[in-house]
Amino acid sequence: MGTLRAQDLAPRAYTHVPTGLNVLAMAFSWSQGSVITNAGAPIQDLNITGYAPALVYFRTFNVFGKLGRMRALLPFAHLKGDAVFIGQDTSGTRTGLVDARLKLSLNLFGPPAATAKDFRPAQKETILGVSLVVSMPVGQYDASKIINIGANRWGFKPELGLSHRFGRWSLEAYGGVWLFTDNSEFVEVSTLEQDPLYSFQWHISYTFKSRIWLAFNNAYFRGGETSVDGEFKNDFQKNWRAGATLSVPLGRRHSVKALFHTGVATRIGSDFDIFTIAYQYAWFSG
């Protein structure tokens, strides 16, 4: 699931919100298409269908007058698919935990942090923020298998984000890079290395009077070529993905969010469709 999970789209990642906000979400994702679950795998014509429930916790807080965020994600997955391996048709399934993720972010420029009581949304605001995503290798991994759910390595993604809101419209642009540690147990005895994978995202969203909001999302990924025991695999990525996100509030504390994105132009690794729906419960605490 490494390539799929590296190529996510996240609108409103730096939007100004009150501190003390907690969100607990249950999400379910369906994906289908050509996905490289372990970069560097010697396989062809890989087609996978994946089902992935996930538990998400999100919290905002004050960091010396700046708005900070923390987001933790623990997914589970069931994969089934077909591929050609060394000229032979093969198929199989995998079920287990996916690598967990922790994201920390901080708004460096923009409105100061404020509690829900003191929060005053502005008609126009510009925000500059930074974030770090850490992918932790807790997912299911069997060194004797080529296709795995977990990546058996750490991943780190520093990112710089710019958000501008004017009235009900928001424009956003992010730039980041995924950095990976080595997997020294690739097919038991080999070492898998991966070059940095650069990520660029841009989003436009509109908030309706009912507090429903709709975003159109785009992302471009470049780099990430892999090598196994020093031999490069000619899997340099140049992939463009696009999609949309819809958020619908159900009262003050409840909401439902749906997201869909697909491959627009793919060199290798992300020619798949993914649909996610999530139920969210929000509350404020000190």
Q: How is the chain split into domains, by residue range? A: 2-284
State the pTM of this model: 0.91
Q: Please give the structure tokens belonging to residue 180.
A: 């990976």
| Best CA proximity match to 243, nearest among 222, 214, 212 | 214
d(CA 52, CA 39): 20
One digit per residue, pLDDT tens: the chain, 286 residues? 455 555 678 899 999 999 999 999 999 999 988 765 455 556 666 788 999 999 999 999 999 999 999 999 999 999 988 866 656 667 788 999 999 999 999 999 999 999 999 998 888 999 999 999 999 999 999 998 878 899 999 999 999 999 999 999 999 999 999 999 999 999 888 999 999 999 999 999 999 999 999 999 999 999 999 999 999 888 888 899 999 999 999 999 999 999 999 988 766 666 789 999 999 999 999 7
d(CA 122, CA 171): 15
| Best CA proximity match to 281, nearest among 237, 249, 259 | 249
When the candidates are 3.40.1160.10, 3.40.190.10, 2.40.160.40, 3.40.50.1370, the CATH number that belongs to 2-284 is 2.40.160.40
CB 284, CB 22: distance < 8 Å: yes
